Structure 1
Amino acid sequence: MSSPINMITLLKMEIIKQTKELVQITMPITNETKQPMGYLHGGASVTLAETAASVGGLLYIDKETSNVFGIEINANHIKAKKDGLLQAFAKPVHIGKSTMVWDIRIYDEMDELVTISRCTLGVKEKRKN
């Protein structure tokens, strides 16, 4: 059975590690992650960062009764890239009942910093039908 198409599969992300202390996800720089001038699109880096935070956030909730959603994210793009492999490392800063804050650092294959991001997740109870 094949996996559903979503941002993780579309952008070829691979979850390497997922613990409550650290989430690590890789993403190759491909044509789909570049802007028209051929460089890594900042939005692709932000997508990788929010994905890493969200994967981590899911580890802290009861998925039967709650969901996590990104409610705020910022990013500082430190280095431009045209190709290579990105690695996002997300660590929790605050885990609360209704919000979580995650620090995400994205590095390239040379272990050079590409993006620094902070993502706030909201925790919301699922609606009862």
Structure 2
Amino acid sequence: MPLSKKELLEQANKACKNTLMETLNIEVIDYGENFLVARMPVTPRVHQPDGVLHGGAIAALAESVGSFASHIFIDTEKFFVRGIEITANHLKSIKEGFVYAKATFIHKGRTTQLLDIRVTDEANNLISVCRLSTISLPKKQ
């Protein structure tokens, strides 16, 4: 029996224990047929020295949400997902609140996937635009 939406979100967030996602307080909050959304609090823990959100934290958020999106749409008994390339264009800075990353598939292939990831603030202002390529590789038997 497939997991409910609530169960899948709980399972995804449980998998983040003792990882970079837990360190950055990244939480998966929603998904649908072609997208996945996560959020991250903007606090001094993720600031660069001048007090705004660090671009590396945005890239980590984008790669996390994109990889999770690829992961939930494959047969995890047979395959695992790895990010192979990420780009990030930072358009606006932010000092506090939350940022939301929504990963949407551009290409959902059997082996490779391409995702568009839009990072916005709580007022839906565009903070960054990212692209992530992932690959699904067979697990060794």
Q: Distance in 1 between matches of 2:30 and 2:17?
A: 21
What pairs up with 1:109-124 in 2 under 5 angstroms? Answer: 109-124=122-137
Cα RMSD of the aligned pairs, angstroms, is 1.5
Identity of aligned residues (%): 35
Q: Distance in 2 between matches of 1:57 and 1:20?
A: 11
Q: Which ranges of structure 2 fall in alignment gaps of 5 or more residues? A: 1-13
Q: Secondary structure at the match of 2:76?
A: coil
Q: Which ranges of structure 1 fall in alignment gaps of 5 or more residues? A: none
More helix by share: 2
> Residue 71 of structure 1 aligns with which residue?
84
> Residue 12 of structure 1 aligns with which residue?
25
**Equivalent pairs, count:** 127
What pairs up with 1:1-129 in 2 under 5 angstroms? Answer: 4-128=17-141
Q: Distance in 2 between matches of 1:91 and 1:4?
A: 24
Q: Distance in 2 between matches of 1:19 and 1:51?
A: 17
TM-score (norm 2): 0.85
TM-score (norm 1): 0.92
Higher relative contact order (CA 8 A, sep 6+): 1
